[in-house]
Structure 1
Amino acid sequence: MSLIQTPYEYVNEPGIISEAGNYVKELGGNALIIGGKTALSITENNIAKSFEENNIIFTIKEFSGYPTEKVIAKFSELGKEQKIDVVIGIGGGRVLDTTKAVGNRLNIPIVAIPTIAATCASWAAVSIIYDEDGNQVDFFETQKSANLILADTKILAEAPDRYLKAGIIDTLAKWYESEPNLKNHNDSLQLKIQTEVAKLGFDILLEKSNKYFNSKDRKDNLNDFKQIVDSIILIAGLVNSIKSNEFYGGIAHPFYNSTTRIPETRNKLHGEKVAFGILTQLVLEGKTKTELIETFNLFKNFDAPITLKGIGIENEIDEKITLIAEDVSKKSGFYKGINYELTSDVIKKAILEADNIGREIS
């Protein structure tokens, strides 16, 4: 079985938020808008005006916290009560994951409006489910992706650099996680496509990101910014869109999932913790010290954490990395193509080695 699961339409233009109603009216006329506090403060006036001009009824609800079963159920019930026929998420990954889950449960069109380019959440056909404390507890494999993504590059460019840099690392991870699987599974068409698409995003980001961040006036360099955003949302999302009965990956994202159980790490962005997961994976792969230092320095350029302290783990280190290592090890059977050992002891040793290297070059 092979499946490519993508959004129907992806629009990436500066100021597109002011035209949202023109697009949404093709999907429905009674909308539930779910947005983070900051995201709504940036977009609400333009959204409301555009929807009113297009005769779209809408209810706006502020989101905070995590995409939990309770939150998803609450918004789904509200949607049923108000007979909404389209749901719109505005904000970062947690808002968008919540919105996708609600849209799939109600079987109505979904619109994703990312206000930060920190992940491919607006594209991905999956919602990450947490408990109220912030521990990741499940994946909700959605039957469909968003029908429409409106990526307003003006809004995205005005977000703090931290989010964009985390999104870049998260996209680079798609190649780091997929490529090693080819050693034992070079006959998998799915894996070959995933790896080629991931490498395209990797190459674009290495070429364009330094030019963009070093621009004297970034407003004159929006073409590079647009390609960075496309890599984070479209290309990284497309890597995850190519599916089959087999799953190929690495441990960077399982590492992130496991760190959600450590409260001190929860103020770090997804891509920031994925960065340290990649570095740990490279140690597990047996990369040379030279190769490791090259990648560590690359991540430093994007202000990514390269030590345990950088992701928030400073006290009771042995206990916490043991918890992470054991949790990652439990899930190792899920990944078909991994060709390095994944016992909890080996993972723990790799985490410590990555931390040692990171502290050496910090």
Structure 2
Amino acid sequence: MSTTDNSCLISHHSIAPARVIRGSGAWLDALPRIRELGFRPLLLGRSPATQPLRDALKANLVSAGLEVTPTCLNHDCCEEDLRRLEAEFTLHRSDSVIAAGGGKVLDAGKLLADRLDLPCITVPLSASTCAGWTALSNLYSPEGAFLGDQALKRCPDLLVFDHDLLRQAPPRTLASGIADALAKWYEASVSSGASHDGLIQQAVQMARVLRDQLLIDSVDAMQSPGGDAWVRVIEACGLTAGLIGGLGGARCRTVAAHAVHNGLTQLQACHGSLHGEKVGFGVLVQLRLEERLGGNRLAEQAHRQLLPLLSQLGLPVSLDDLGLSNASLSELQQVCEFACREGSDLHHLPFSVTPGALLEALVGAAEPSVRRP
């Protein structure tokens, strides 16, 4: 048997949280399980806007007999914050981490728990990413520039996906989550290549179904929070998208769309844009690259289909929308150089991309596709 046969390869998968509790009222239902994981949790958050929610979570935990230490990130998920949090953890003799917030908070909580080898509970307060699910954290500089990602030993011990909490998030965060989840198909279908691994093939097909559901339900979900379409969409963004990455592993994750996001974070002017907003723009850029450099006619069709949907959802589709109307050429070149650096996920594309070609695609991301004869 050939040593390159997939049946001979060993692969490790952190597929899912040990337990997921989802639905309206999931938080209160989860309290007994949280007690099983630790009696002195560190409750991590960040945004002042979600402080009242975190105060309510703390009150529930205290009523359940737990000794809670609340604390906040000062920055994105960065080493400076993590070192400070480790010191707080030791000072208060905490025995578990509860991360309640958006993607940066969830990533920091997971990474902290991973380093301390202690239980982790994730409580998403928006459906902006699938960070509450995955065994992966993104690291940033204190200024918010992407540095790299880090694989974790396992997914969270408990994910509490409470629809009542998620309904209170700003609509913009859901639109951002939709863009991030849509990218699963456009990236996984490319990064998987011609893999003969059945698990990868199945994960890619899940990403296709996820895309179709979001194309159908996203507008209704945004217009009717709490409705059936809204429930399907938040769970697609916060749960299914994470499952796809867990099943497919690195071969079903990021390509050019996330590489563009990573490059954009190097500019201060982009720090007001959410993760998924930059990723959604990156999908348009990736499709431009596939169309112009790869000769992919399907990419043209996908661009024509996706551009109006992203616009309808209020998502950025151009550099101007991202606050880069006054960006200098050198700043845009910095974005492209970072996105094209050695080891970048952009190189999962089946053709080479230079910083110059990427710059052209960035500038032309919002242009309507022109049908070729």
Residue in 1 aligned with 2:174?
164
Residue in 2 aligned with 1:210?
219
Residue aligned with 1:342, SS: coil
Residue in 1 aligned with 2:7?
none
1:262 aligns with 2:267: yes
Whole-Å Cα distance in 1 between the matches of residues 107 and 59 of structure 2?
A: 26
Range moving further from structure 2, 32-41 or 159-168: 32-41
1:290: how far off? 5.4
Whole-Å Cα distance in 2 between the matches of residues 104 and 39 of structure 1?
A: 25
1:347 equivalent among 333, 358, 361: 358
Residue in 2 aligned with 1:194?
203
1:296 aligns with 2:307: yes
Query: Any gaps of 5 or more consecutive residues in structure 1?
Result: none
Range moving further from structure 2, 81-90 or 189-198: 189-198
1:32 aligns with 2:32: no
1:357: how far off? 4.2
Identity %, equivalent residues: 24
1:141: how far off? 1.6
1:91 equivalent among 101, 110, 114: 101
Whole-Å Cα distance in 2 between the matches of residues 241 and 321 of structure 1?
A: 33
1:231 equivalent among 229, 236, 240: 236
1:178 aligns with 2:182: no
CA RMSD between the two structures: 2.2
Structure 2 CA distance for partners of 1:197 and 1:3, relative to 1, 3 Å:
farther
1:296: how far off? 0.9
1:210: how far off? 2.6
Residue aligned with 2:131, SS: coil
1:133: how far off? 1.0
Range moving further from structure 2, 170-179 or 279-288: 279-288
1:336: how far off? 6.8
Give the letter aligned to residue 269 of structure 1.
Answer: L
Deviations 1:207-227, CA, capped at 9 Å, x for gaps? 222333344xx44x2x32221
Residue in 1 aligned with 2:147?
137
Whole-Å Cα distance in 1 between the matches of residues 250 and 283 of structure 2?
A: 24
TM-score, normalised with respect to structure 1: 0.90
1:181: how far off? 4.1
1:52: how far off? 2.6
Whole-Å Cα distance in 2 between the matches of residues 246 and 171 of structure 1?
A: 16
Residue aligned with 2:184, SS: helix
Structure 2 CA distance for partners of 1:193 and 1:101, relative to 1, 3 Å:
same
Deviations 1:239-273, CA, capped at 9 Å, x for gaps? 22135575764200011011111100000011111
Deviations 1:279-313, CA, capped at 9 Å, x for gaps? 11101111555543322112112111111011111
1:352: how far off? 2.0
Residue in 2 aligned with 1:285?
290
Whole-Å Cα distance in 1 between the matches of residues 205 and 134 of structure 2?
A: 18
Residue aligned with 2:212, SS: helix
2:52 equivalent among 21, 41, 46: 41
Residue aligned with 1:281, SS: helix
Whole-Å Cα distance in 2 between the matches of residues 144 and 98 of structure 1?
A: 14
TM-score, normalised with respect to structure 2: 0.88
Aligned length: 352
1:120 aligns with 2:134: no
Residue in 1 aligned with 2:277?
272
Residue in 2 aligned with 1:250?
255
Structure 2 CA distance for partners of 1:166 and 1:88, relative to 1, 3 Å:
same
Give the letter aligned to residue 307 of structure 1.
Answer: S
1:89: how far off? 0.6
1:309 equivalent among 314, 320, 337: 320
Deviations 1:132-171, CA, capped at 9 Å, x for gaps? 1111112222111111111111121121110001101100
Asked if structure 2 preserves the Cα contact closer than 8 Å seen for 1:185 and 1:337, the reply is no
Whole-Å Cα distance in 1 between the matches of residues 249 and 153 of structure 2?
A: 14
Structure 2 CA distance for partners of 1:245 and 1:58, relative to 1, 3 Å:
closer
1:355: how far off? 4.2
Give the letter aligned to residue 123 of structure 1.
Answer: W
Asked if structure 1 preserves the Cα contact closer than 8 Å seen for 2:270 and 2:322, the reply is yes
2:21 equivalent among 1, 11, 24: 11
